[in-house]
Amino acid sequence: MNMSEFSVHDGLSLSELVRTRQVTPLELLEAAIARIERHNPGLNAVVYTAFDEARESAKAPLPDGPLSGVPFLIKDLGQRVKGWPRTSASFFAEVAADAEDSELVRRYRSAGLVLAGKTNTPEFGIPGVTQSARLGICRNPWNPDHVSGGSSGGAAAAVASGMVPIAHASDGLGSIRIPAACCGLVGMKPTRDRNPNGGEDTDRAIGLSVDHVVSRTVRDSAAMLDATGYPEPASPYAYPYKERPYLEEVSRSPGKLKIFWSGVTPSGRPVDPEIQSALERTATLLAQLGHDVREQAITLDWRQFYRAQAIVSGSNFAAGMARMVEAIGREPAGDIGPLARRGYDRGREITGQQAMWAWQQLRVMSRQVMATFEDCDVHLTPVLGTAVPRVDWLDPLAVEIREYDKRSAKTYPFTPPYNITGQPSLSLPLWQTPDGLPLAMMFSGRYGDEATLYRLAGQLEKECPWKDRKPPIWN
């Protein structure tokens, strides 16, 4: 199979070719390697390769999973792969080689995936762009002058450029949905505790961060969540209810949904006109599809909400850094970047009383957000408040840090609340800007209700077939 034939297919299609013996897993892997070697020098999406190990895996008998034989990439943050380094994009925190796979990685292998390497991420996954002193800038396949989003920007750039059809990603305050939006992909942030956290649960201690994938098709996202999202032994958290496989939901009618939509940002600053126009087009399309659509924002004291979130996130980051310091045997010096340094210093100043006050505040305010979903099935907003920004405009290493904060808040105003509440939230690449960059909408649902989002996504994928759109570098 050559590079162009490989990139036409999504993951399920490739796995079917393997299952019917039209192609071998090794042929798929070699096609993926060829595309990585061709496109990665200009994108910097893949930062570690294990091609020889992957070749041995592809030659050996693979589990008969839903994505058996499909090449796959792991984000270089959080998840452990036996024998592979894990840098977290940091000079300070690099692990030379992990001793064993994390639980989620074991489930990826059980699904039949062939692990070929790791993707770029910013230091500790902090910003909504993927660039760091350790791993460099990851660029957008649609236009390399623009960001790929973050913190799963490497995964998104790899999938959008056709290196692989699907890749691991994680989302702490938008880090699946933002890069999916920037790179024209499907990005589902699943319900909290839908996917396993594993015994090494400290990275997920506060529950904001979840793992899943970015993909080109809705069905690949659904199939992967079916493959990995099942109860985890010894987990202290209740597994969210699920009625049937999500892959079945994609082809089911969503029925007539009650959908609220809003372009109101937490700061009250309006989104860019082209974003507002696309939002209104989406609302019109949904009404034409028979849904009950009305404009209504979530009412909340957003200043208090984000104050509490900052305290919780800051204290959690400082606690995580303290564990690293203990393991490494020294404090970080000049080997962490400015965002990490600020987060660590501020986090250490937070008292236990302040951290618990913030937890209490977020719990109360999460109820207020969820109350909106007593009256609607889905809440629609844009993913970004602006068009996909240029790399030099949103650069955490070059732009003064307070100015970077302002620009970041303007660009990414919508994603964080659903990490706080734990609700599923999905980015879909419905539109494009006049200059050809992806323009995505975000659909958020009730706690545990990925099913409704997948049904709606399947309907919208037929109306706006984004899989046929390719970035200029595709061939």
| Residue among 7, 15, 148, 151 flagged as catalytic | 151
Q: Which residues, other chains included, contact 211 with Cβ-Cβ below 8 Å and sequence gap of 6+? A: 78, 79, 104, 168, 169, 170, 171, 195
CB 43 within 8 A of CB 35: no
Catalytic site includes residue 253: no
Active site residue 75: yes
Q: Which two tokens stand for residue 26?
A: 């090794």
- Show the beta-strand stretches assigned E in 262-393: 292-295, 378-382
Distance CA 87, CA 94 (A): 4
Q: Which of 15, 88, 90, 175 is catalytic?
A: 175
Cβ burial 417-442 (10 Å sphere, 16+ → b, else e): bbbbbbbbbbbbbbbbeeeebbbbbb
From 57, 68, 75, 102, the catalytic residue: 75
Token pair of 48, please? 């570690």
DSSP 282-312: HHHHHHHTT-EEEE-PPP--HHHHHHHHHHH
- What are φ and ψ of residue 342, in 5° steps? -60, -45
Query: Nearest to residue 119, comparing CAs of 148, 144, 83?
Result: 148
Strand positions, DSSP E, 113-157:
114-119, 131-132, 136-137, 139-140, 143-147
Catalytic residues: 75, 151, 175
